[in-house]
Amino acid sequence: MSTITQDAPAAHDDHHDDHHHGAPKGLMRWVLTTNHKDIGTLYLWFSFIMFLTGGAMAMVIRAELFQPGLQLVDPNFFNQMTTVHGLIMVFGAVMPAFTGLANWLIPMMIGAPDMALPRMNNWSFWILPFAFAILLSSLFMEGGGPNFGWTFYAPLSTTYSPDSTALFVFSVHIMGISSIMGAINVVVTIVNMRAPGMTWMKLPLFVWTWLITAFLLIAVMPVLAGTVTMVLTDKYFGTSFFDAAGGGDPVMFQHIFWFFGHPEVYIMILPSFGIISAIVPAFSRKPLFGYSSMVYATASIAILSFLVWAHHMFTTGMPVFAELFFMYCTMLIAVPTGVKVFNWVATMWRGSLTFETPMLFAVAFIILFTIGGFSGLMLAITPVDFQYHDTYFVVAHFHYVLVTGAIFSIMAAAYYWLPKWTGNMYDEKLGKIHFWCSTISVNVLFFPMHFLGLAGMPRRIPDYAIQFADVNQIVSIGGFAFGLSQLIFLAVVIKCIRGGEKAAAKPWDGAEGLEWTIASPAPYHSFTTPPEVK
Amino acid sequence: MNAKHEHYYVPAQSAWPIIGAIGLFLIAVGAGSYVTQLETEQTSGGYILTAGIAVIIYMIFGWFRTVINESMSGLYSQQMDRSFRQGMSWFIFSEVMFFVAFFGALLYARMIAVPWLGGASNNAMTHEVLWPTFEAVWPLIKTPDGTTTEAMPWTGLPLYNTLILLASSVTLHFAHVSLEKSKRQALTAWLAITILLGIGFLFLQVEEYIHAYQEMGLTLASGVYGNTFFLLTGFHGMHVTLGTVFLLVLFFRVLKGHFTPENHFAFQAGSWYWHFVDVVWLCLFVFVYVL
């Protein structure tokens, strides 16, 4: 990325005519706010609460799987835990965390006064807690909450689903509305609100990756809305979209769902690429290697994401030529992803590296996400997938890309930008403890799952054959340790908000970008007049 | 960037979003309870749903009033106008993708699911074992489990409706041209005609539904043909209804003297929306009725 310099003075806290005088006080500040930083903070806290909630459900799952046999929860409740754990982590933790980062950072990175549509921004956040209140409350209803897996395959979600399925459907509708509005706001902000001189190929990669993510969101969230609507009418209004007796097809559900679902997977990883592309150069004290190839690689991944959905359904019945098509397209994604990994490594090559917590998480991301990428490549091979399908190998694969991928990048981002958000440095020692506890435990948790899966242990079951007992015990211990480690992160964040060493406007020597030109903590209104970017 | 150092209006705190969030919450809870109560005596869901819709309508009025007042008092810049335009375009794109899901279902059912049930590709045994007497035809007038129905012909009401909607797109375009040339009377007249055409379309569609349910036995539950027919035309009808309300609001604003040749984002947005609804209907007419 080319260098950004700036004429304007460092602090942009000059107030403008229209009724802005810093942050209002009290609870209503957060309810009524139109400020991108407030809304970003709300998103980030909401996602962290959801992360702990979904994590608690994972603890239930690992506790039940600690030993073979049924001991703690009954199988129907176990199914509800796996389902709601997935839904919460995808729609409640990872996606809102990225939206929160986008809200906080994109206006500062492009030199805009705020998001383009600030009131709608508030709306897209505040409907989310309501959506999850509905989803979680359905767990306490008669017959229980959703128990059909986060992918809600028909007929599990239609013929055999609990009475509360309608609440699941409408809560997903609201989550979709929230994501679409958030994404529209991001696209419009990036396209329309860049400071003069901030040309396309000067955009920080976090902005680029989010622009492409937002496009994916606008394209596929409506398809998810259509899918849940068909589930609703199949269950309650006598339609037979997913019922062969009426001329429909349950396989059609999977096609429509995964047409949404695969781009969704990239929605949860592309912003990570942007984060890592900001952090690695900062701590290597070198510009990012291959900036433009990063942009093109991101765009290629996004385009390919629309052509690979059926690799999730190799075993559910497709003509052979379709299986081959989806296999080759899927493997093709390894090329742009490889470009990215090599570029990060090349950025570090002969850099003057230091390993503060954000950099530790970023390096761990590169290594562990790549492991997840390789297991994905294995799963892409159709004949091999016949063996792996629906085993713990798949669980290991997507937790490597989502936990050590998406979640680790979010952690890295939090550590990297916390000084900018709070004005204080976080506790580096505690941060490093958090990193090492997380990284060791997450590998104890997920790496042995590969072996379980290869040995044939199926996913989504509360009980298993006796030969899987030892490895499951190790996995569960890793799980509990990883869960507890995240409380360290909570402690770091609270400690950092309450005080600590004052952060400079640019606390990292190698950091680049407009957000480091304004004071720490960032003033309530930054860039009320756009800076000139050269 | 041509808008150098232009001041961008960032609104102060607003209560409309949280009111809207509560409205959506009530709608979701109400609709969720309503459908689960369908076969019971309870009716609480319907009331909550109605309350939610009322809150949303209140929110839309209030929110739009605020925006219109801000716009009329000159707080918005060219850049703000572009934000609105781009936002509306992306919203319409998301609507297109919503319809894509249902068109996808229609094409999949028609090109793959139904032929496979009839033994096409390598599914001879599926056909033999499951429903050996099933005949794969489209429109699917007899489902594998024996539900029968009639196919809706494209002549008659659907054809009239196509002509009405096409005409309404043209009249709306004339209204837009009149607005840009400051011919206020022509603008009012063309807009009124467009709204009447929209209402006419909705009226005929209701007629068509009544005809389908009462005389043809074509219902939402009559197999995948009825499913796709009613969900596609139904969601389209909801969009025409919304579009008509949109145009009505524009009509009253025109009467109040709003919009200038240079500054008429809301009119532009309404007209984009209407043209989008029209294009969706054309696809519907081709894929649901004619083919």
pLDDT tens string A168-207: 999 999 999 999 999 999 999 999 999 999 999 999 999 9
Collect all residues of chain B within an 8 Å Cβ-Cβ radius of residue A322.
Answer: none
Q: Tell me what pLDDT residue B1 has.
A: 38
pLDDT digits over A336-370, tens only? 999 999 999 999 999 999 999 999 999 999 999 99
What CATH class is the domain A37-517?
mainly alpha
Q: Across the 291 residues of chain B, what is the mean pLDDT of every consecutive 10-residue run?
A: 60 92 96 89 91 96 92 87 95 97 96 93 90 92 91 91 96 96 95 97 96 93 94 97 95 93 92 97 94 84
Cα A328 to its chain centre, rounded Å, is 26
CATH architecture, range B78-290: Up-down Bundle (1.20)
Cα B75 to its chain centre, rounded Å, is 32
Q: Do the Cβ atoms of A222 and B79 come within 8 Å?
A: no
- Strand residues in A9-102 grouped as ranges (E): none
Q: Tell me what pLDDT residue B6 has.
A: 61
Q: Do the Cβ atoms of B224 and A241 come within 8 Å?
A: yes
User: Any catalytic annotation for residue A459?
Assistant: yes
Collect all residues of chain A within an 8 Å Cβ-Cβ radius of residue B24.
Answer: 127, 130, 174, 177
Q: What is the mean pLDDT of chain A?
A: 93
* Closest residue in B to A31 (Cα–Cα): B18
Which residues are CB-contacts of A143 (< 8 A; sequence separation ≥ 6)?
A162, A163, A164
Q: Does A114 touch chain B (CB under 8 A)?
A: yes
Collect all residues of chain A within an 8 Å Cβ-Cβ radius of residue B65.
Answer: none
Collect all residues of chain A within an 8 Å Cβ-Cβ radius of residue B62.
Answer: none
Domain residue ranges of chain B, discontinuous segments joined by +? 1-76, 78-290
Which residues are CB-contacts of B70 (< 8 A; sequence separation ≥ 6)?
B9, B11, B76
- The minimal CB distance from A119 to the residues B16, B86, B228 is found for B16
In chain A, % of residues over pLDDT 70: 96
Contact between residue A238 and residue B220 where contact means Cβ atoms under 8 Å apart: yes
| ipTM of model over 0.90 | yes
| Look-up of token digits 């091999």 | A384
pLDDT digits over A150-173, tens only? 999 999 999 999 999 999 999 999
Q: What span, in angstroms and rounded, lies between the C-alpha atoms of B246 and A308?
A: 39
Q: Tell me what pLDDT residue B12 has.
A: 83
Q: Tell me what pLDDT residue B121 has.
A: 84
Contact between residue A193 and residue B82 where contact means Cβ atoms under 8 Å apart: no
Closest by alpha carbon to B232, among B107, B54, B50, B89? B107
- The minimal CB distance from B14 to the residues A119, A174, A245 is found for A119
Domain B1-76 of CATH type 1.10.287.70: yes
Residue A16 banded pLDDT, cuts 50, 70, 90: very low
Closest by alpha carbon to B208, among B109, B275, B195, B200? B200
User: Any catalytic annotation for residue A464?
Assistant: no
| Look-up of token digits 């990225």 | A98
pLDDT(A209) > 60: yes
Q: Do the Cβ atoms of A238 and B220 come within 8 Å?
A: yes
Q: Does A20 touch chain B (CB under 8 A)?
A: yes
DSSP letter at A522 equals P
Q: Do the Cβ atoms of A247 and B117 come within 8 Å?
A: yes
User: Any catalytic annotation for residue A337?
Assistant: yes
**Any alpha helices (H) in A65-164, and if so which ranges?**
75-87, 95-110, 118-137
Q: Does A231 touch chain B (CB under 8 A)?
A: no
pLDDT(A2) > 80: no
User: Any catalytic annotation for residue A340?
Assistant: yes
Closest by alpha carbon to A7, among A207, A281, A197, A204? A197
Contact between residue A31 and residue B13 where contact means Cβ atoms under 8 Å apart: no
pLDDT digits over A454-469, tens only? 999 999 999 999 999 9
Return the residue in A188, A200, A236, A257 with the most chain B beta carbons within 10 A, the one to mutate for interface testing: A188
* Closest residue in B to A127 (Cα–Cα): B21
**Burial level of B124, CB count in 10 A (0-12/13-18/19+)?**
exposed
Q: Tell me what pLDDT residue B232 has.
A: 96
Residue-wise DSSP of A357-411: HHHHHHHHHHHHHHHHHHHHHHHHSHHHHHHHTTBHHHHHHHHHHIIIIIIHHHH
With the CA atoms of A248, A249, A250 and A256 taken in that order, what torsion angle do they form, in degrees rounded to the nearest 10? -90
Q: Does A499 touch chain B (CB under 8 A)?
A: no
User: Any catalytic annotation for residue A179?
Assistant: yes
Q: What span, in angstroms and rounded, lies between the C-alpha atoms of A137 and A405?
A: 30
* Closest residue in B to A19 (Cα–Cα): B12
Please give the structure tokens belonging to residue A234: 């199949």
Closest by alpha carbon to A80, among A158, A159, A140, A154? A140
pLDDT(A267) > 50: yes
Q: Tell me what pLDDT residue B75 has.
A: 87
- Axis-axis angle for helices A75-87, A118-137 (nearest 10): 170
Collect all residues of chain A within an 8 Å Cβ-Cβ radius of residue B144.
Answer: 244-247
Residues paired with B148 in a beta bridge: B142
Cβ contacts from A onto B, under 8 A: 238
Q: Does A164 touch chain B (CB under 8 A)?
A: yes
SS3 A340: helix
Given A12, A36, A312, A389, the catalytic residue:
A312
Kindly tell me the number of DSSP H helices and DSSP E strands found in chain B: 9, 0
φ/ψ of residue B32, rounded to 5: -60, -45
pLDDT(A63) > 80: yes
State mean pLDDT over A94-113: 96
Q: Do the Cβ atoms of B25 and A220 come within 8 Å?
A: no
State mean pLDDT over A110-137: 96
Neighbour tally for A345: CB within 10 Å = 14
Please give the structure tokens belonging to residue A426: 């976080």
